[in-house]
Amino acid sequence: MIRYFIILKCLFLLLLADQWSYAQQGPQAVLTADSFSNGYYFTESWKFKAGDDPGYKKADWPDSTWAIVNSRYLKTTDSATSYRGIAWLRYRFQVDSSLLQTPLSIIIKQGGASEIYLDGTLLCTLGTVGTKHKTEYQTGFDHPYIFTLKDAGWHTLAVRYDNTLFPPGEKAKAGISLGIYEANNYYSHYLPDREDTVSILMLIVGVFVALSFIHLLLFVFYWKALYNLFFGLYNLSIAFLAYTAFTLSSNNNFLESSQALGWLFYGFLLFGLSITGFVNDLFGKRKTRFYILLIIALLLPIVYLLDARIGAFILIIYILFVVVEGFFVIIRAMFRRERAAFIVGGGIMLFFCMIALLIVGLVVNGGEIDTSRTSGWVVASLDTLFIALLVSFPISISAYLAWQFSNTSNRLKKQLDEVERLSVEKQQILEQQNEQLELQVSERTRELQSEKQKSDNLLLNILPQEVAEELKEKGASKAQYYDEVSVLFTDFVNFTAIAQKLGVEELLEELNANFTAFDQIMEKHGLEKIKTIGDAYLAVSGLPVKNTDHALNAAAAALDILAFVAERKKQVPYGLNIRIGIHSGSLIAGIVGVKKFAFDIWGDTVNTAARMEQSSAPGKINISENTYHLIEQTFNCTYRGKLQAKGKGEMDMYFVENKK
């Protein structure tokens, strides 16, 4: 079963220049169906010859003088089998009849391009042999290649292999690994394990990206806590390494796989930098070592770009130093009993121990992450060690954050208790002052409300309610045009002569009594009083709120005025007589002036209403033709004929007699 150590394998590749080991049998053994059930890898005892000859593919080609090699370790320089270009590999094996017509899967991992021949016949190709472009190299099949053996006995595998474009160097392994699985077992065991591995790697990426995001946000909101920054970078490095491992395990493109190996360098560099930054931020007294390690980390990418091998070697030394320094700083903090040293330090030390044990386990397992064919307590514990490695550091940080939160909460609680104890008396004083202020505010509010009500009432006595509201909200009121209204004018008859007979007080009392009654009549019938001019009274029906019954309401109000004046004459010996005029039409209404402003109306309709009043008779209501047509269905009217109106010429006029 493929385990979860792809990330650590990549580190081990940098540290140990790994040695591959697979279950093998000697080339002389007879292979059966059981031999291929769990995979048979042809790595050792290959016949090797540099150069290119089409005859090398033949099953009976003489190869006794060829070199015997391990196919995985074909170096490009400094080796007895070193070559650069095209070479041939041959392997003879014997099978029994149990394998005949059994579907087999061929598995290839390589660093170049190859052609595979079985008994002189081309079986499959992987990449393009003789290419001049790395993009035409492949590291493996996207899907296993299926074939069958038709004959029992001896068979010959011949591989035409090209490593021309593989990077030169003494330690560069430009070889090929070739194995055969029984096809049904491969699909039922290998692929599900591979899917599980990919799922686990993606889960690791998601979890550690989320942790990284959370702690980087914590650092943004509280930048003094540098440990959040370094822990966020640590989680980011783990996610990045897991994603790189996923890329390496699932990508068969030679160029992209080579680039992914370069990503490992930056992932482990970020990993080491985050560890040393975290440890020194929490427990380091002097930051000199950290600053030195930080400078080295910043310079290492430049070294890697100049020479990848030197950069990788320095990175190994860098990480080893980070581990040693971390142990030293944490142990010193524990001896000094620094706060949270045992919480965080214990988790980090466990983390370092897991790394050491995993390296030991990989060494015992021959550098392999596949533990299904090996045994021993170290190898059998690799799963547990890997899980402990992943969770030890985050759990210790979580424990530290919980401790810090609890400690902070306890300190705050104590401080709050002290503040509460010291502020009881002050709080009582504040409460008393608050009560007094509330009483004063309440009293002042009532006074303000009373004054406001007086102001509102005064404003409503001057202006219509709608206009007053507009004026209060906007600070101004626009004049408006009204196309259908009725204007009512009244005037007392012989008022000047009567005024000379009455005293001032009696005259004012009489006017007040009449106009007060008129105001009530206007309110009853929905008319808006505009103003009084001496003994004249001006009102309008149909504004500011439009009303289709404006003429009917004006006529009804006029009849009530006549009734009141007639009754008043019975009560006082000097009772006044009155003329009323009404005209319907359009006008403009609005506020006039800035100081001592008043609501007024303008237009020909107002002038015509005044002419109707002047042309009326005492105790009569004189209306125009416009008004007559609006009320003729409701009121009885008497046609007066065409009468001369000042400035208007002859006009049809009517007396309103009563309501039908």
Radius of gyration of the chain (CA): 53
Give me the amino acid identity at 424: V
591 touches 597 (CB < 8 A): yes
Q: What are phi and psi of 110, to 5 degrees?
A: -150, 170
Strand duo 621-624 + 577-592: pairing: parallel
Whether the CA torsion 41, 43, 46, 49 is positive or negative: it is positive
Task: Name the stretches of the chain with pLDDT < 50.
Answer: 1-28, 76-78, 170-172, 366-380
Q: How far is CA 213 from CA 135, 231, 269, 278, 322, in A?
A: 36, 10, 19, 16, 24
Class of domain 32-190: mainly beta
Residue located via tokens 């580190």: 11
CATH number of 478-659: 3.30.70.1230
507 touches 617 (CB < 8 A): no
- Residues 6+ positions from 248 with CB-CB distance below 8 Å: 6, 10, 257, 260, 261
The pLDDT assigned to 22 comes to 32
pLDDT of 166-213, one tens digit each?
Answer: 665 544 456 788 888 887 776 665 555 566 667 777 888 888 898 889
pLDDT of 604-643, one tens digit each?
Answer: 999 999 999 999 999 999 999 999 999 999 999 999 999 9
DSSP 307-330: -HHHHHHHHHHHHHHHHHHHHHHH
Same fold, 32-190 and 478-659: no
Nearest to 177 by CA among 105, 122, 254, 106: 106
DSSP state of 140: B
The pLDDT assigned to 381 comes to 54
- The kind and range of the H/E element at 606 are helix 604-614
Phi-psi domain of 526 (left: phi exceeds 0; alpha: psi -120 through 50; beta: other): left
pTM here?
0.46
Strand partners of residue 653: 624, 641
User: For residue 149, what are its two tokens?
Assistant: 């053996």
Q: What are phi and psi of 232, to 5 degrees?
A: -65, -40
DSSP state of 43: -
Integer Cα distance of 366 and 134 in angstroms: 30
Domain assignments of the chain as residue spans, ordered by start: 32-190, 222-414, 478-659
Is the bond leading into 27 cis (omega within 30 degrees of zero)? no
Nearest to 111 by CA among 189, 29, 167, 181: 167
The pLDDT assigned to 352 comes to 67
Angle between helices 191-221 and 226-250 (to 10 degrees): 160
